[in-house]
Amino acid sequence: MNMCAAPISADDRDRWVAVCTRDRLAAQQIVCATVAGVGVLIIRDGENFLACERACPHEQADLSRGHIADGRLHCPHHRASFSLTTGEVSAGWPSRPLRRFRVRLDDVQVWIDIQASEQG
C-alpha cells in the first residue's frame, strides 16, 4: 500500500484531497467518497490503507458493496476479485487492473492524490 504519513504541505494542497477522518476509517473498513467527479473507495485492511476506483472495471458494479478477504477486494456482481496490493484482477477475467490512488495520513485526515493513479 503506497501510504505516506507526512503532512500535506501548502504546495501540495491542489493535488491532495482530504476524503475522510482517520476515526471514520477506524470505524468502517470501506468509506465511499467522490473527488473531482470520480467515485473512490478508501479501504482499511488491517493496518494498511489504500484508495481505489469505486466502479468495477469489468462491469462497473459498485465495489463498495463487495467485501475484503485475504488481501483482495471481491466484486459483489461476479466472482472476480482485485489485489489490494497491485490492483490486478483474479485469473480468467478480461479486465484491466483496478485503478488505485496514493494515500497519505496525518493526525486527523486521510488524503488521496486523485491525479496520480497507480498501476501494478
Whole-number Å distance between alpha carbons of 36 and 16:
11
69-114 pLDDT tens trace = 999 999 998 889 999 999 999 998 888 999 999 999 999 999 999 7
Checking if the pLDDT of 17 tops 50, the result is yes
Q: Would you state the pLDDT for residue 53?
A: 95
Checking if the pLDDT of 2 tops 50, the result is no
Q: Would you state the pLDDT for residue 50?
A: 93
**Residue 41 is part of a domain; what is its CATH number?**
2.102.10.10
Give the structural domain span for 13: 3-118
Q: Would you state the pLDDT for residue 78?
A: 84
pLDDT, mean of residues 23-52: 92
Q: Would you state the pLDDT for residue 18?
A: 92
Residue that has been written with the C-alpha cell 468502517 in this structure: 28
Query: Whole-model pTM?
Result: 0.84
Domain count of the fold of the chain: 1
Checking if the pLDDT of 7 tops 60, the result is no
**CB contact burial 29-57 (16+ within 10 A = b; e otherwise):** ebbebeeeeeebbbbbbeeebbbbbbbbb
